[in-house]
Amino acid sequence: MRRVLLASLAVALMLVPAAGAGSTGRVTVYAASSLTEVFPRIDARPRYSFAGSNQLAFQIRQGAPVDVFASASPKFTQELYRDGLVEKPRAFAANELVLAVPRSNPAELRSVFDLRDKQVRLVVGSASVPIGDYTRQLLRRLGLTIVLDKVVSQEPDVKSIVGKLALGEADAGFVYRTDVRAAAGRLWAISLPAWAKPAVRYEVAVVRSSRNRAAARGFVRALEGVRARRLLRAAGFSVK
């Protein structure tokens, strides 16, 4: 009898680590900072970490315990896929670049071309983060790269740009249209020439090292569902 009890205890102890490994635990989602408001509305259950897509991709390469990666640029999901670190990425939303100014608009900007002609404090994303890359693509197409000389701060993610503008620490900055909407009236968006705007496309992928692979795939599938699409549209994103 004692041998049976000891054997049962040994089996139980062997099973404890497997359960603790998180095969059915909460999903951890790394997501671009521009998704900060909408993702918890779509699903409040996961653990979320929001930051610049480049920073999150780097952490995944370093072995961070994450299940899902949602990027504001296909560049990072596709590179991770190429290197075998994530499953095949799926596009789930699009966004739009705008020039944002504080609601009071102290520099009296009306057009992106005013950046060239007026004294302004401009804030942009660093070149390595998607918002910074999109910004530089836009300025090259418009022939306005000279305005980068007026940059007073280069930020690690789009929410940091929004914060600078909302606090009056800058006169203008390039952000996504969804960020202006999320700023609840503190910012005003100046539209940009359609022909010059880069396509802003979001992709999501399951991380291959995930211990919650089934739940992670469920989260990704949910982003294509009716409810998620409705919430993404309400936040200002474009969806198919």
Domain 25-94+200-234 coded CATH 3.40.1170.10:
no
As given in the structure block, the two tokens for residue 208 are 């291959």
Domain 97-196 coded CATH 3.40.190.10:
yes
134 contacts 96 by C-beta, under 8 angstroms: no
pLDDT for 24: 52
- Going residue by residue through the chain (240 aa), what tens digit of pLDDT does each one get? 444 333 433 433 333 333 333 445 799 999 999 999 999 999 999 999 999 999 999 999 999 999 999 999 999 999 999 999 999 999 999 999 999 999 999 999 999 999 999 999 999 999 999 999 999 999 999 999 999 999 999 999 999 999 999 999 999 999 999 999 999 899 999 999 999 999 999 999 999 999 999 999 999 999 999 999 999 999 999 998
Domain boundaries, the chain: 25-94+200-234, 97-196
Model-level pTM?
0.88
174 contacts 145 by C-beta, under 8 angstroms: no
pLDDT for 240: 81
Task: Give the integer Cα–Cα distance in Å for 99 and 109.
Answer: 10
Name 174's bridge partners. 99
Task: Give the integer Cα–Cα distance in Å for 188 and 165.
Answer: 10
216 contacts 210 by C-beta, under 8 angstroms: yes
Q: Do domains 25-94+200-234 and 97-196 have the same CATH topology?
A: yes
